[in-house]
Structure 1
Amino acid sequence: MNERLERVLAAIDPVRLKESFLELVDIYSPSGKEEDIQLYLEERLKQAGFAVERQEVEEERYNLVATMGKGEPGLYLVGHVDTVPAWDLEEFGAREEGGTVFGLGSADMKGGCAAMLECWLALAQALPEAERPPVGLLFAIGEEENGDGSARFLKSCRPPWAVIGEPTALAACFAHYGYLEAGFVTHGVKSHSSLPELGHNAVESMLRVLLHLGSDALFRREESEIVYSIREMRSSQKGFVVPDRCEAWIDLHLPPERDPAALEKAIRTLVAGAKRYIPGLEVSVDFDFASSGYHLGTGNHLAAALKELYPRLGLPLKLDAFRSHSDGNLFYAAGCRPLILGPGALEVCHTPEEQVPFAEVLEAARVYAALCLA
């Protein structure tokens, strides 16, 4: 481990990091209402001597961008500051139990944001300006909705590498699943609810369509690598009647090598075939969003740095593919190489029991420092 990195690691302050992390979790920042948390982060960075750019996305919504070192940054640390809406506005804030921090956004991804902030504070504290690496920091908005923050950033800046702090339990994800969002609508005929035989029930049609899809080998969990999740279903609410319209949305996460366009074609074929088995079926399907996955490989300097660093930190290095959708897909499509690596576990995100071990947040700050210096 080189002397410069040792100085930076020694400057990483667990007390300061925990304080920052708890304060970030206590700031309510659902998508669209990120200004309070951006004001907090902006002030912390300015206090450390960094010039911070507000990059406007829309009125009163902006990214924060900072850089250090000489020349164009070869790597950006990227964290999204928004969360999904709170399950309970009385209970969204931070609480700590036995070394684990609970709270909305703790894993997705305020733990990663806190670690990135601490990394930058330690770099500023330990290194004079002439020794600082040419790296950037992006705190983006809107990831939990449409990724508008990262999309705005990528219009003006496309760094060679990005490290995105989504929750991977510190696994290094040089590969990323693709994503496809499918919307289905079935139509029926209204009738009084006590006389269903006079109508055609759109909900029953939708259920049969979804069962037909789910029975195909493409979507059987024990046979397929495609992650198939029915996200929501709703019908027309017209009182005591047989519903004449039903909508359903399906999330599909694809292994990196799978082509979303090919899956879209397969789904259209399956839906067309369902008409042979479902009497009177009238159904349409649309694909509002598709994003390809990627595999960067591990023959690069960031992977080499991690292979050296993790044993020194006493951490097992796990290489994996990130299974969810993230801004990483946008960065890759723009020509960047995004490594997904952060504290916390994906399985607890978007749940009332979201949590992350503080020890992982601390190790993430050390890992981010090493990657910046690499």
Structure 2
Amino acid sequence: MNTPPPLITMMSQLIASPSISSSQASWDQSNKKVIELLENWLSSLGFSCEVMAIPNRPNNVNLIATIGQGEGGLVLSGHTDTVPYDQDRWQSDPFRLEERDNKLYGLGSCDMKGFFAVVIDTLRDMDLTQLKEPLIILATADEESSMSGARALVSQQKIKARYAVIGEPTLLKPIYAHKGIMMERIQIKGQSGHSSNPSLGNNAMDAMHMVMSELMTFRQQLKKKYRDANFVIEYPTMNFGCIHGGDSANRICGKCELDFDLRALPGMSNQSLIEEIQAILPKIEEITGTTIEMRSLFEDIPSFLTSTDSDILKTCEALTQQTGDSVAFCTEGPFLNQLGIETLILGPGSIDQAHQPNEFMALDQIKPMQHILRGLVHRYCLQTVYKTQPNTNSSSINKHHEQTKIDPFNNIDEEDRA
């Protein structure tokens, strides 16, 4: 079995393997070619690879690559899918890696196929025969749409480890928290009729006006009740993103739909918020004589929080010389936390380039990321980090475990200390 090719070649091959995930069937693609590349490269480094099927997604799979033994250790995680793209807005082929102006351009370069190439290129130069705890490379499917890959890991309890880093683009800044998100649709059915006589129908658009007024009141209540100064937008947000109703100015509107999102702070329950909104609707139905239904556009994503006392955050702050922070975008972090794994988000590239035409990873992000990766592997896989056994119960996530005090830079080359 051949050893992995150079880093740029790996990135080129990963980007040249389309793996778009989307709720629209016309865009949605398999990620199996990406998984096959990663499986081949990691196997050549001595990893034992499991390709994990995902329920109801026959064309998409996860990869769990493990080297070393034990119940602790480290997970380096990323997703293999990308978002769709606007062909006419790219200056180059989205599926061909192109270097210009000290940047590597391509769909998935920073979000986040490039992370896998950086990880594998780093590991090839490390002695992985002396691991005291396991190292797991996790590659998931469908993060950009349903997060079915991460959800399957939780439902099947597939991974046991103590710590994890998800390499989403954060400009190498440790991220320990983000908001959750739910996307909902409210559909109102009234009765159409001739606009000259309002009594001939029930106007669904009028009813939607009442619904939106109640939701705006609810939004203000959330803003007053919940605050978290760790976030730039320190309160829960609700956005009315899309509305459709009626078909002609001279007809009573018989149907109206509203799509909105709600982003909750850590500690808030998505399900409780849904129930509170649903409780508003029956009274409006009674007043307007309409039928109102609410459904989720996709399964909600919980908020993410890893304790600021966690060892993984303190270690990454030391390695990056940056203080941990929160972000607005969602990740697979809450699902790994549900597996009892203390998880941090940290990776090369900027989220500002993700989901954009001409996505890129700056070349100056690569060596610092490799320094961080070497430090993490040394600390969590080559040294005995803790005395207590890891607890995979999700309630233990934010508890401070008894740990030995080990310099995360111990045994790291002088070049990496700089």
Distance 1:110 1:218, change over 3 A: farther
Conserved in 2, the CA contact under 8 Å of 1:236 and 1:245? yes
SS of match in other structure, 1:44? helix
**Partner residue, 2:63:** 64
What is the CA-CA distance between 1:204 and the residue it aligns to?
5.9
Conserved in 2, the CA contact under 8 Å of 1:200 and 1:244? yes
What is the CA-CA distance between 1:162 and the residue it aligns to?
1.9
What is the CA-CA distance between 1:332 and the residue it aligns to?
1.9
Correspondence 1:114-133 to 2 at 5 A: 114-121=117-124, 125-127=125-127, 129-131=129-131, 133=133
Q: Does 1:96 align with 2:99?
A: yes
Q: Which amino acid is 2:130 matched to?
A: A
**Partner residue, 1:360:** 365
Correspondence 1:31-180 to 2 at 5 A: 31=21, 32-57=29-54, 58-88=57-87, 91-93=93-95, 94-121=97-124, 125-127=125-127, 129-131=129-131, 133-154=133-154, 155=156, 156-180=158-182
What is the CA-CA distance between 1:67 and the residue it aligns to?
1.3
Correspondence 1:188-199 to 2 at 5 A: 188-191=190-193, 199=201
**Identity percentage of aligned residues:** 25
SS of match in other structure, 2:94? coil
More contact order relative to length (CA 8 Å, sep ≥ 6): 1
Distance 1:132 1:87, change over 3 A: farther
**Partner residue, 2:220:** 217
> How many residues are treated as equivalent by the alignment?
351
How far apart, in 1, do the equivalents of 2:327 and 2:111 lie?
Answer: 13
What is the CA-CA distance between 1:129 and the residue it aligns to?
0.9
How far apart, in 2, do the equivalents of 1:335 and 1:236 lie?
Answer: 49
Distance 1:345 1:283, change over 3 A: farther
Distance 1:234 1:38, change over 3 A: farther
How far apart, in 2, do the equivalents of 1:255 and 1:177 lie?
Answer: 5
How far apart, in 1, do the equivalents of 2:190 and 2:210 lie?
Answer: 13
CA deviations on 1:173-213 (whole Å, 9 max, x unpaired) are: 22232233322112222347x86955555356446633653
Conserved in 2, the CA contact under 8 Å of 1:256 and 1:294? yes
What is the CA-CA distance between 1:290 and the residue it aligns to?
3.7
What is the CA-CA distance between 1:73 and the residue it aligns to?
4.8
**Partner residue, 1:5:** none
Q: Which amino acid is 1:373 matched to?
A: H
Unaligned runs of 5+ in 1: 1-12, 312-316
Unaligned runs of 5+ in 2: 22-28, 225-231, 380-418
State the Cα RMSD in Å.
3.6
What is the CA-CA distance between 1:252 and the residue it aligns to?
1.8
What is the CA-CA distance between 1:371 and the residue it aligns to?
1.5
How far apart, in 2, do the equivalents of 1:242 and 1:306 lie?
Answer: 60
Distance 1:102 1:199, change over 3 A: farther
How far apart, in 2, do the equivalents of 1:101 and 1:191 lie?
Answer: 58
CA deviations on 1:69-100 (whole Å, 9 max, x unpaired) are: 23245221111101122333984334333123
